[in-house]
Chains A and B, each alone.
Chain A
Amino acid sequence: MVDLRSEPDLHPLANIDQVIHAPARLMVLTYLYVVESADFVYLMRLTGLTWGNLSTHLTRLEEAGYIEMIKEFQGKKPHTIIQLTGQGRAAFREYKKSMAQVLDDLPD
């Protein structure tokens, strides 16, 4: 197996953030990047993910410190508000930059 880090030309690929790189998480972060905050149901509708799937991906993003989940009650119902952290915003910007750089360098 080729160690990407030992290959100077492929080095940027090895640095791609794997937490963000999964399509579902990328989608979630893209939407959170353009709004201030959103609740769980809103993200579910926007991304088309199921409750269980979204919950899993949000937990992963929260563990990485990219999002903050604020749990509260609206009457008797639990309500979760999700927002991007400063670290998450920076990581998304960096991911965008890295991907653009890697893909721009590929031949047609």
Chain B
Amino acid sequence: MSQKISLKEAERKAFTITIDDGLWDILLGCFFLEFAIAPLLSESMGDFWSSVIFLPFWGLVYLVIWLIRKYIVTPRVGSVKFGPARTAKLKKFTIVMLMVNTFVFILGLIAFLSFGVVSGQIYPAILGLTLLIGFSLAAYFLDFPRLYIYGLLLALSPLVGEWLFTHSDVSHHGFPITFGVTCSIMILTGLTIFIRFLHNNPIPVMESPVKEG
């Protein structure tokens, strides 16, 4: 045997098999789609309602993904209860994500209240950095390397958007373009992985036990 049996690697594989079906990519892509579409709606609906309108959309996406996971994914990959090490890691992840989200919320509130006072690249830079840190932490805690790339793309979106807004004739700080492209990449990646997952994992058919040789 040329490969070392690593319990850590076995545990990692046991965990990633449950999350690597593309559905997380689709969920996150749909979530951040708000950054691309809300600025376009804000002119007719106002800032508040153009954001609030996404709540039922997210609810619907979450419900659809939950149903897909229950009726399509679980019969194909089965179910598992993780050990104490992974459970502790997931608890840490939840706490860290709560802290990051609180920070983002406060940041958004400050930006909303002082809109127009501080301009330029400051808010896009802070937003980008927060997204990068948040996604990097998620990638680390969930053993999900693709999130590093998404974090980087999402971090660049406000910065590139602001640059496009300043240097060319794009509207809404370039957010509809940059976040639109990033979210499309995330959703299309998720869909591709999900289709491949369905192809590679048909519903298992029960067989008789095989006699040992």
Contact = CB atoms under 8 A, between A and B. Distances in A.
A41 B76 contact: yes
A46 B208 CA distance: 20
Given A45-B17, A51-B205, A37 B80 contact: yes
B113 interface: no
B13 A46 contact: yes
Interface string A24-46: 00100011011111111111111
Contacts of A50: 207, 210
A31 B83 CA distance: 11
B27 to A, nearest CB: 22
B107 to A, nearest CB: 38
Contacts of A46: 13-14, 17
A55 B210 CA distance: 8
B80 A42 contact: yes
Given A33-B7, A41-B77, A51-B205, A56 B83 contact: no
Nearest to B8: A34
B7 A41 contact: no
B78 A45 contact: yes
Contact of A51 (B5, B10, B11, B206): B206
Contact of A34 (B14, B206, B209, B212): B14
A31 B79 CA distance: 13
Contacts of A41: 75-79, 204
B166 interface: no
A36 B14 contact: no
B94 interface: no
B212 A60 contact: yes
B211 interface: yes
Contacts of A45: 17, 76-78, 201
Pairs of residues from A and B, 6 with the lowest C-beta to C-beta distance, nearest first: A42-B78, A41-B78, A34-B11, A52-B210, A52-B207, A51-B207
Interface of B: 5, 7, 10-11, 13-14, 17, 75-86, 201, 204-212
